[in-house]
Amino acid sequence: MPDSKKFFENLSGAGKCIGVLTSGGDAQGMNAAVRAVVRMGIYVRAKVYFIHEGYQGMVDGGDNIKEATWESVSSMLQLGGTVIGSARCKEFRTHEGRLRAALNLVRLGITNLCVIGGDGSLTGANLFRTEWSGLLEELVQTGQIDEQAAVTHSALHIVGMVGSIDNDFCGTDMTIGTDSALHRIIEVVDAIMTTAQSHQRTFVLEVMGRHCGYLALVSALACGADWVLIPELPPEDGWEEQMCQKLSESRLRGSRLNIIIVAEGAIDRHGKPITSDAVKDLVVRSLGFDTRVTILGHVQRGGTPSAFDRILASRMGVEAVLALLEASPDTPACVVSLRGNQAIRLPLMECVQMTQQVQKAMDEKNFEEAVKLRGRSFENNLNTYKLLSYRKPDSEVSKDGEGRKGGPCCSSFNVAVLNVGAPAAGMNAAVRSAVRVGITEGHTMFAVQDGFEGFSKGQINEIKWGDVGGWTGQGGSLLGTKRTLPANHLNKIAEQMRIHNINALLVIGGFETCDRIKQSASGTKRRVFIIETMGGYCGYLATVGALAAGADAAYIYEEPFTIRDLQTNVEHLTEKMKTGIQRGLVLRNESCNENFTTDFIYQLYSEEGKGVFDCRKNVLGHMQQGGAPSPFDRNFGTKIAAKAIQWISKKLKEFYVEGTYIYLPTYTYYQSKCPGKHCTDFRLDIKHSGSTAADDMSLQTITDHQAVDLKQFGLCVSPLFLQTLIL
């Protein structure tokens, strides 16, 4: 274990024993959670035990329960499944089985359990806890343990972490394994879309989710599927005709493929299952389309966990150990959950009961309540999908004068969308979302090519609903983007805005590799890799990348370091090479220090480690900006762009009366925490005069390093009313 400064000075696990097990279905990221529990436990001087094969190993005891070491969890982070095994145990459901499990734990002094599994596994753990004192009394009476042992181990503390690819547990925004499963699904969908387009086929994809439609819903949102069927909200009667009509209209607009996603537990309003084969037969019978079915099955559970799942599981594992250390005999069992961006603790059984309420609502055919019980995130995903997947008939969409006379709820304006700065995965998903939501709101949408430079040259064209079909999965920027600032083109940009009567502007932009490198290092004894990441003066990529890859060190701008720190890290790696782990990984943010460059660190490590290890360096560069966007980036871009256009529509309608713009808001606050090149919080102070555009705008950031004058972005280009939102 590395000799480093304690971050939890007041917490000590000395004399405590922690058991960690995985139970139920496996999920990517479970190994990361196990690793975090083991290393955090050892960090606070507690003993940590692997309980192999879940509850079955606890019941059987013996070699199934082994003490873990710091090195025993090395290289687990990037592995899928669960290294310590998982099994469904019928014996643990019996009193006799739990009695044997209690005996095995008491013999090793284990009174703290960290259970990683689904709601069934966590419910079983809570039952075990409530019976604990009675089980010990029974063991004393039968002479299997003495009274002193019963007193010493009188309380059993339980902390749960939800490992489930279905994201079917209430109380947490995401469960361990969900994001990785979405990656598997999207990889398959992206591959299928190419062959479907070639042959003008319709594909019906069945994904997991017997009781929860999260995977189906979010993957449909991420790939722009034509139709999705989930158990929480079955389609209305007559859905067959509606679906076929929508597929037919899509083909008439020029689409060469259709994607339908079906959750394995999909049902209709009467509780009758809707199978993927039934959907296929319907499409073939009604439309005659060449249709194929793909059932993804257990491929969704397999493979390497995503960066998100590794980080989520690691943070949850650390919080679980802290919860066990702080628990008292009266502390109820808790579950570590994700709320926003924080790992929090919630009462275990309250969350289990909430989860059971969802199924109860579905059984009672109260589907709207079931959707609400799933949580705000699920409901928002569903509403966004509905907004983007269905195009209103032209008769329902307000246009120009007619809409504006109709009042603030049905106004039509000209809204332009452009990309600026460096390309980023998810930009195209955001543009697609903005265009379709804008059209739904009744606006005329314009696309600006090549950022502000293209804006000044008049590269502005109307963009329609069908023009953005298939954009969600595309990397880079299909509109084109340049770093050119508009400072020298303000007059030309203003003229183009007058010509096209632009009322609002949406600006989208901003000012897996480590695993492969680790695998290379693992195949070569005693090698250390120095990796340079992007990020400018923001260390987000380096820090999170280091956490996700299990790096030995990360050098970032926000955390100053000295030559002594570098020397300490070299010494740590030298000692590490004497163990069974003979490889190292170091990440460096590109602008972390102007003197301690990547070359300098590489040469220092090479010289100081001479004879012990050799070094390699790798500058990842622009490959970090390339490739297809992840499911998270697709959905994030889609949802924030939809919110942005709705906000713009609201402001345009609010300040437009009888053909005149009344005023600008005196103060608008927009906050964005973005892991982009410059991670800042943006605050816009807008001062106005009558109906003119902003006369003065200032940008404040959380760092002083990157202060930008907003006039460079062309926000003060003309005496026209302009609502601008930067994503």
d(CA 555, CA 545): 11
pLDDT tens per residue, range 351-368 = 999 999 999 999 999 999
Please tell me which residue in 26, 119, 166, 633 is annotated as part of the active site: 166
Question: How remote is the C-alpha of 644 from its chain's centroid?
Answer: 20
User: For residue range 435-465, what is the model confidence (pLDDT) as tens digits?
Assistant: 999 998 889 999 999 988 999 999 999 999 8
pLDDT given for residue 390 in this prediction: 74
* CA–CA distances in Å: residue 392 to residues 251, 386, 440: 16, 11, 7
Q: Within a 10 A sphere around the Cβ of 622, how many other Cβ atoms?
A: 9
Q: In whole angstroms, what is the distance from residue 695 CA to residue 718 CA? A: 10
Cα separations in angstroms, 39 against 1, 72, 385, 551: 8, 10, 41, 14
Query: In the numeric block, which tokens belong to residue 324?
Result: 């066990």
C-alpha span between 458 and 496 (Å, rounded): 6
166 is catalytic: yes
Q: Do residues 45 and 136 touch, judged by C-beta distance below 8 A? A: no
331: Cβ–Cβ under 8 A, 6 or more apart, which residues? 157
DSSP reduced 3-state for 28: coil
pLDDT recorded at residue 483: 76
Task: Check residues 404 and 39 and name the one with the higher pLDDT.
Answer: 39
pLDDT band at 123 (very low <50, low <70, confident <90, very high): very high
- Angstrom distance (rounded) from CA 531 to CA 588: 6
pTM beyond 0.85: the answer is: no
Check whether 398 has a pLDDT greater than 80: no
Q: Any long-range contacts for 345-352 (C-beta under 8 Å, 24+ apart)?
A: 345/159, 345/319, 346/171, 346/172, 348/122, 348/125, 348/126, 348/158, 348/160, 349/123, 349/126, 350/171, 351/119, 351/169, 351/170, 351/171, 351/172, 352/119, 352/122, 352/123, 352/126
Give the per-residue pLDDT at 703: 39
Q: What is the pLDDT of residue 388?
A: 87
| 608-622 confidence digits (pLDDT tens) | 888 888 888 888 877
Give the pLDDT band of residue 87 (cuts 50, 70, 90).
confident
Q: Which of 336-340, 525-529, 589-593 has the lowest mean pLDDT?
A: 525-529
Contact 486, 706 (CB under 8 A): no
Query: How far is residue 140's CA from residue 127's CA, in Å, rounded to a whole number?
Result: 20
Q: Which residues contact 206 (CB under 8 A, 6 or more apart)?
A: 262, 263, 264, 275, 276, 293, 294, 295, 296
pLDDT at 493 (0 to 100): 87
Of 27-31, 105-109, 605-609, which gets the smallest average pLDDT? 605-609
Structure tokens at 154: 């009188």
Domains of the chain: 10-175+305-359 (3.40.50.450), 178-301 (3.40.50.460), 414-513+629-661 (3.40.50.450), 527-623 (3.40.50.460)
Q: pLDDT tier at 632 (50, 70, 90 boundaries)?
A: confident
Tokens of 607: 């010289």
Please report the DSSP string for 534-603 in residue order.
Answer: --TT--HHHHHHHHHHT-SEEE-TTS---HHHHHHHHHHHHHHTTSS--EEEEEEETTS-SSS-HHHHHH
Backbone angles phi, psi at 36, to 5 degrees: -65, -40
- Reply yes or no on whether the pLDDT at 349 is more than 80: yes
Q: Assign 3-state DSSP to the chain and report helix, strand, coil percentages, each to 5.
A: 45, 15, 40
Mean pLDDT in residue range 369-375: 92
Q: What integer pLDDT is reported at residue 668 of this predicted model?
A: 32
The pLDDT assigned to 9 comes to 61
Single out the residue of 209, 267, 264 nearest to residue 234, CA to CA. 267
Q: Each residue of 204-225: pLDDT tens digit?
A: 999 999 999 999 999 999 998 9
Single-letter code of the amino acid located at 240: E
- The pLDDT assigned to 664 comes to 44
Weakest mean pLDDT among 70-79, 249-258, 487-496: 487-496
Arithmetic mean of pLDDT, 133-140: 95
DSSP E strand stretches across 467-546: 504-510, 527-533
CA dihedral 640, 641, 647, 653 (to 10 degrees): -170
Q: Of 670 and 133, which is predicted with more confidence?
A: 133
The pLDDT of residue 253 is: 83
Question: Which of 221-235, 520-534, 622-636, 661-675 has maximum average pLDDT?
Answer: 221-235
Distance CA 487, CA 143 (A): 85
Token output for 274:
């809707």
pLDDT at 677 over 70: no
Give the pLDDT of residue 57: 95
- Give the model's pLDDT for residue 610: 86
C-alpha 26/C-alpha 301 separation (Å) is 7
pLDDT band at 312 (very low <50, low <70, confident <90, very high): very high
Confidence of residue 396 (pLDDT cuts 50, 70, 90): low
pLDDT, one tens digit per residue, over 21-52 is: 999 889 999 999 999 999 999 999 999 999 99
pLDDT mean across residues, the chain: 83
Give a three-class secondary structure readout of 128-186: HHHHHHHHHHHHHHCCCCCHHHHHHCCCCEEEEEEECCCCCCCCCCCCECHHHHHHHHH
Of 234-243, 407-416, 520-529, 702-711, the range with the highest mean pLDDT is 234-243
Find the mean pLDDT for residues 71-77: 88
Question: Mean pLDDT throughout 647-664?
Answer: 67
Percent pLDDT > 90 in the chain is 53
Per residue in 547-567, pLDDT (tens digit) is 888 888 899 999 999 999 999
Give the model confidence (pLDDT) of 492-505 as tens digits: 888 898 899 998 88
Beta strands in 342-463 (DSSP E): 342-347, 414-421, 444-448, 460-462
At residue 427, φ and ψ (nearest 5 deg) are: -60, -45
Cross-strand bridge partners of residue 413: none
